[in-house]
Amino acid sequence: MGTLGENLMTNSMKDIIQVRDLTKSYGSTLAVDHISFDVKEGEVFGFLGPNGAGKTTTIRIMVGLTQPGSGTAWIDSHDILKEPVEVKKTIGLVPETSNLYGELTALKNLIYQAELYGVPKKERRIRALDLLEEFNLKEHQEKPFQALSRGLKRRLTIAAALVHHPKILFLDEPTTGLDVMSARGLRKLILDSKKKGLTVFLTTHYIPEAESLCDRIAVIVKGKIRVIDTPENIKAQVKETEILEIGLDRITEDLKNKLLVMEGIEKILVSENRIRFHTKKLDQITHPVIKVLEEQGAKIETINTLSPTLEDAFVKITGLDSELMKIDKPMKMGPE
């Protein structure tokens, strides 16, 4: 599994997660379809895919919450099926729903987690207080979990996952439902965790999040992994493509149809009043496109050429509309 590029980059690191031929069905739906991959120690590895792609199911199998249909995985050399308790000692999970105990204070929640993970008594309170400090939650330590804002709950849930000093942190859609500032703060915390040597496995459907956080990304669609590589290598798959972006006062269906039949244009993506032309012949299409736009009476407000992004590569690899990735899952019931 893995390209030459990724192997050269990471072959000095140990595979701390090894997944082999994992499947999981729900009725007739194959949620995870024979996937295999490795995660290197100390890297941030991202599972990128739309809702329903099988990301959460994969994470739940790896942490022992769901039984696989077939296949297995090794977490820090422990088989998830044969040594689930050993696996759980090694990992911390931040589920999609912040599910600490609403009635307990922030501090008591962390101490309780430390108790469950067998942290020595004299260290429990110290570790809890250190984490509250590190996650900027000190002033909220005596507040019940249910009284915290969604962003603070998320931070506390991550802190709770770290109280036993795990080697691997699993984050399921860590920034879903958070405001911009909370999401930014959380991404910084994830990067800080990596600097401390923690291996991070995260799932996300936000392409920019995967690009900014992950050393390597596995693109997963309908339970199958389409590609595993670094964001740069994935983007390189569309490097021969150039993008012309034109901002217009209005975009009509008629105009789109006229542009679509033009020669040299591979794809057209429309977002609000901007239209993107994917082409390998930028020099040859620019003037004809402008001419068509003028003939149709469209007023050009901006014009730019862009380098392909991870989003473009994702669209090429999966054949999915990138707008699909912007749809959040309905929020689950919980103390969020």
Partner 1 sequence: MYKEFIKAYFIAKKDMGAYYLKPPLISWGLMLPIVFVLAFYFRNPAGIKEVVPGLIGLTLLFSCTSMAAIVITFEKRIGALERLLLAPLNFRTILLGKSLGSTLFGLMVAVFITLILIPLMGLSIRNFWAFVLIYIFSGLAFSLLGILISVGVKEVFEAMTMSNFFRFPMIFLCGVFFPVSSMPFPLPILSYLLPLTYTVDGLKHCLLEDKGMIPLYLDLLILLGFVFFLFSLSLFIFKKRIRQEF
Structure tokens at 79: 């088989």
In the region spanning residues 69 to 128, those forming contacts with partner 1, defined by CB under 8 A, are 85-86, 88-89, 93, 95, 97, 99-104, 108, 112-113, 115-118
Structure tokens at 64: 């022992």
Pick 63 or 189: Cβ nearer partner 1: 63
Cα 154 to the center of its chain, rounded Å:
16
Pick 116 or 260: Cβ nearer partner 1: 116
Pick 247 or 335: Cβ nearer partner 1: 335
DSSP state of 145: G
The minimum distance between CB 60 and partner 1, in angstroms, equals 7
Pick 163 or 183: Cβ nearer partner 1: 163
In the region spanning residues 234 to 273, those forming contacts with partner 1, defined by CB under 8 A, are none
Of 222, 321, 236, which is closest to residue 276 (Cα–Cα)? 321
Site string for partner 1, 19-58 (x = CB under 8 A): ----------------------------------------
* Per CB under 8 A, 321 contacts partner 1: no
CA distance 92 to 163: 9
State the pairing for strand pair 91-94/168-172. Answer: parallel
The minimum distance between CB 92 and partner 1, in angstroms, equals 8
CA distance 38 to 15: 6
Structure tokens at 92: 């911390």
* Per CB under 8 A, 326 contacts partner 1: no
Please report the DSSP string for 50-62 in residue order: -TTSSHHHHHHHH
The minimum distance between CB 74 and partner 1, in angstroms, equals 17
2-to-226, 227, 230, 238 alpha-carbon distances in Å: 11, 8, 10, 18
Q: Which residues bind partner 1 (CB under 8 A)?
A: 60, 63-67, 85-86, 88-89, 93, 95, 97, 99-104, 108, 112-113, 115-118, 332-335
